Amino acid sequence: MNTVINGFSFTRILQALYYIQSKAPSSNPDRFDILYLLKMIFFSDRYHLRNYGITATGDNYYAMKRGPVASATFDLLKGRYEKHSSAIQGIDEYNVRIKPQEKDELSKSFKEAIDFALKEFGDFDKEKLSNISHCYPEWKKHEKKLLRIAKSVQMNEMDFFENPNDSYFKEFGKKCDPFKEEDEEFLALRKEHYHAYHASR
């Protein structure tokens, strides 16, 4: 049975995690790392929100010291949902292998978002992915609090529509933010979609 909490589908996220591991560069050993998987989910959700007005996972995001974290996905990967633990094979404390999924219920837009994340970020190791995620405004606004007193701070999805300084990405070999949207009118329409979706719930 597909368990859903606040719009979050465990079946869907397990399929997404398996899709990430099956499509990630085989030369990157970090594709099994929990932090790597969490960053791919974040980048996928950020793309999906900015292009379709809603996140693909329906998860809640928290800013933590190593970047944005999808909370239910994190708990799932850490084995905190016993009902779904059989789908995840632990390799060691930090690495897991997602077992093949019986069904493929991922939407075309979710796969598109994951493909974008893997294309732009899939070759990076987990530490660089963490550093890249620190470039985005939705995390940066909580940086001082995280460094001083807080372990985590709930994030506002509206901040995912904001753009970072392009200069942050030069050290990662990119000329600008891969999410950069030149068509501001399109991004404004996605914001309206976001507001309309949440107002109807």
Domain boundaries, the chain: 4-199
Q: Alpha helix locations (H) across 122-183? A: 126-133, 137-140, 143-148
Report residue 35 as tokens: 């932090």
Residue whose pair of structure tokens reads 């633990």 in the numeric block: 85
The rounded mean pLDDT for the chain is 93
| CB atoms closer than 10 angstroms to residue 166 | 13
Q: Note whether 140 and 59 are within 8 A (CB).
A: no
Per the model's pLDDT, the better-predicted residue between 102 and 50 turns out to be: 50
Would you call 95 helix, strand, or coil by DSSP? strand
User: Phi-psi bin for 96: left (phi > 0), alpha (psi -120 to 50), beta?
Assistant: beta
The tens digit of pLDDT for each residue in 68-114 reads: 999 999 999 999 999 999 999 999 999 999 999 988 889 999 999 99
> What average pLDDT score do residues 132-143 get?
97
pLDDT of residue 5: 52
Of the pLDDT bands very low, low, confident and very high (cuts 50, 70, 90), residue 122 is: very high
> What average pLDDT score do residues 34-39 get?
98
Which of 23-32, 62-71, 137-146, 177-186 has the lowest average pLDDT? 177-186
Of the pLDDT bands very low, low, confident and very high (cuts 50, 70, 90), residue 1 is: very low
Helices (H) and strands (E) in the chain, counts: 8, 7
130 residue type, one letter: S
